[in-house]
Amino acid sequence: MSVSVARPLLPVVIDHLCRIYPERDATELADQIFAAMHLDHEAFSSELHRNKWDESDIWVITYGDSISEAGEAPLKTLKKFSDAYLKPEISGIHILPFFPYSSDDGFAVINYSQVNDSLGDWGDIEAIGQDYDLMADLVVNHCSQRSPWFENFKQRKDPGKDYFVEADPSADLSDVVRPRTSPLLCETQTLDGLRHVWCTFSHDQVDLDFSNPAVLIEMIRIIRRYLDQGVRIFRMDAVAFVWKEIGTNCVHLPQTHEIVRLLRTMIEAHTDDAIVITETNVPNHENLSYFGNANEAHAVYNFSLPPLLLHALVSGTSEHLKRWQMSMPPAQTGTFYFNFIASHDGIGLRPANGLLSQGDLDELVNTMQSFGARISWRAVADGRNEPYEINVALYDALQGTSKGPDRWQQQRFLCAHAVMLALEGVPGIYIHSLLATQNDYERLELTGQNRSINRHKWDFSALTGKLEDATSHHAQCFSTLKSLIAIRVKQPAFHPNAFQAVLHLGDEVFAFWRQSLNRNQSVFCIHNMTDQVVVIPINSINLTSLDLWEDLISGDNYSVEYESLSIAPYGFVWLTNRAVR
């Protein structure tokens, strides 16, 4: 239920600040934050538990230069491609970091307030934001060693001299959670001598020190700039690591959660329909904590879905996928799961901890390596390294099963997307999955970075040629995916917050029931996880005799008089009592 509540903004902000900085003057800090956000202290209206999304929300994730054409700014090419090929099915576009950067394909930001001139300019960003819901990255945890702030840190000048986390290399940092194998501290020469700065991800990505309120205020100035340029959806990158305390694991600390709440408060105070999504590639129960009580992130990346779905499709059993899905709490009204099955990074394995056995994980890693994948590693507390993520293009990841490659690659790939499109939440489709791009070994060799295998750069003419060639697997997958999306966005039962329940029809299938918020439409979604035909007794699906049931995908009709439903290898049906065409 949506409840409209008028609240004075100042006391809300002061409360956040008292929790983050109990030793500081919260009123003075609040004044600085309001000035940075260009807001006054007057009351604002906030609707608690309000959904700002519906079944028509489908977002594409892409780099600004994933598609380019000679003589044209890549952001203009992205807009041209989106208008010609993605409308009307796609409602939003997440442009991965489009700022000047020094490494990690954009996530080592040099200047947060500029657009990388090799991509275009703010006018190109605004043009995309005028026609699509625009998502941008708030790279909140770290910035580049080449940023002006870090240069000032080395020169001991403002702003920047106290913007970064320093630590004594003799301190016990063994409890700190690491997503990488590189040393945590990086030696840096400054005018005051040698310092050791904290680098969670790489030595080119230096962690910002949010214990200094000036860093928080800088980030709020950046947020205001993005809002002014048309950004509506904020992806808070690596936000779990922003607060550090020696003697803790330095992840998910209370101040981190309070900073997310404060940033959401300021973003919504400026733009009521803006959305905050947290990106926390961590075990499932930790990830869910960023919902708070529907007062923190509007959405969390559903990180456990990619490894569990991949495992189900290459192992032929949905056992673990079903068990996980049954344990997932429905997202409260005013929150949603951001579902994805491929990304610019890789398929994270930490979110599968406790959901897949070590044997399952080892088999999955070995299978993916046999399909050309690379494996990225992280350091753990006992000094070992363990697999952190699988780097692979999803199309190639699904070329076979643990038994080896087979002839079902394309159907298996489409089945994976059908699951994502039908699940509770908002789907996010990586551009290279939408286009069925394969492993890019040339780019991998060029950069020496594992993640480059799934960051292909398409030439616009070459890509459109593929999409216009009906014999191309790119065209076939793209056409089918667009058809599935066109169906999905019309069905009220696929609202991100519509009811969902897992169906127990055997481990060979992954099946669940969706029901619209007004209960008028039901959809039974049944997906074959195997390379064999699966026969489902109709009476096991619990179809009501009062309705004639239609498969949204094929258009075939069914009733309770049918004895069984046959589903082809990696086939799927979406049975509904009230199709919307």
Which tokens is 458 given?
């398409």
Instruction: Flag whether 235 is marked binding.
Output: yes
Both ends of the chain: CA-CA distance in Å?
A: 29
Judge whether 282 and 351 are in contact, CB under 8 Å.
Answer: yes
Instruction: Flag whether 237 is marked binding.
Output: yes
What CA–CA distance (Å, rounded) separates 13 from 8?
9
Comparing C-alpha atoms, which of 176, 404, 416, 154 is closest to residue 309? Answer: 416
Q: CA 289, 293, 297, 298: dihedral to nearest 10 degrees?
A: 130
Provide the annotated active-site residues.
Answer: 237
Amino acid identity at 302: N
Q: Return the exposure string of 40-71: e unless at least 16 CB atoms fall within 10 Å of the residue's CB, then b.
A: eeeebebeeebbbbbbebbbbbbbbbbbbbee
Vertex 305, ends 283 and 491: CA angle to 5°? 135
Backbone angles phi, psi at 497, to 5 degrees: -110, 10
What CA–CA distance (Å, rounded) separates 115 from 125?
8
Length of the chain: 581
**Which secondary-structure segment (H or E) carries 206?**
strand 205-207
Instruction: Flag whether 344 is marked binding.
Output: yes
Judge whether 356 and 444 are in contact, CB under 8 Å.
Answer: no
Question: Percent helix, strand, coil in the chain (nearest 5)?
Answer: 35, 25, 40
Comparing C-alpha atoms, which of 274, 248, 360 is closest to residue 310? Answer: 360
Contact residues for 285 (Cβ-Cβ < 8 A; gap 6+): none
Judge whether 524 and 511 are in contact, CB under 8 Å.
Answer: yes
Which tokens is 254 given?
């209370």
Instruction: Flag whether 192 is marked binding.
Output: no
Count CB neighbours of 151 within 10 A. Answer: 13
Which tokens is 261 given?
């709440």
Count CB neighbours of 23 within 10 A. Answer: 5
- In angstroms, the Cα distances linking 504 to 493, 509, 537, 566 are 20, 9, 12, 16
- Write the DSSP string, 5-45: EEE-HHHHHHHHHHHH-TTS-HHHHHHHHHHHHT--S--EE
Instruction: Flag whether 104 is marked binding.
Output: yes
Comparing C-alpha atoms, which of 283, 430, 419 is closest to residue 342? Answer: 430
Instruction: Flag whether 272 is marked binding.
Output: no
Q: Is the peptide bond before 88 cis (omega within 30 degrees of 0)?
A: yes
Count CB neighbours of 292 within 10 A. Answer: 16
Pairing state of beta strands 426-430 and 185-190?
A: unpaired
Residue ranges of the binding site for substrate: 104, 142, 235-237, 344-345, 451
Residue ranges of the binding site: 104, 142, 235-237, 344-345, 451
